[in-house]
Structure 1
Amino acid sequence: MGGSGILPGAEKKVLTFSEKDLKAVLLEEYDWQPAMVRDLLNRLKRRKDA
């Protein structure tokens, strides 16, 4: 497998949803800690800006 982080055969798709909805799902459904959610959002924003 390559190091692209995309599953073999998977198409690259752009998902659109609000930051509020993403936070709610991670905090409520997956029991993430607020710091983990902030870190993930910051990393995603940095990748988008790169």
Structure 2
Amino acid sequence: MIGIEYVPIHDSHRRTQLKLLQTPGLPTCCKQLSTRELERVEVILDKVGEART
């Protein structure tokens, strides 16, 4: 269970990954890692959103 107090941390992590993915010349391995991290954090934020409704 993710507490509502952790949503800002996960949202910040999401924004960081999005910014990294926009970096020109980012190596493929870093893009793959950032994409996986982004997918992971979006699942968490989606679950928190579902729990709030």
Using the size of structure 1 for normalisation, the TM-score is 0.42
Larger Rg, first or second structure (1 or 2): 1
Higher relative CO (Cα under 8 Å, sequence separation at least 6) belongs to 2
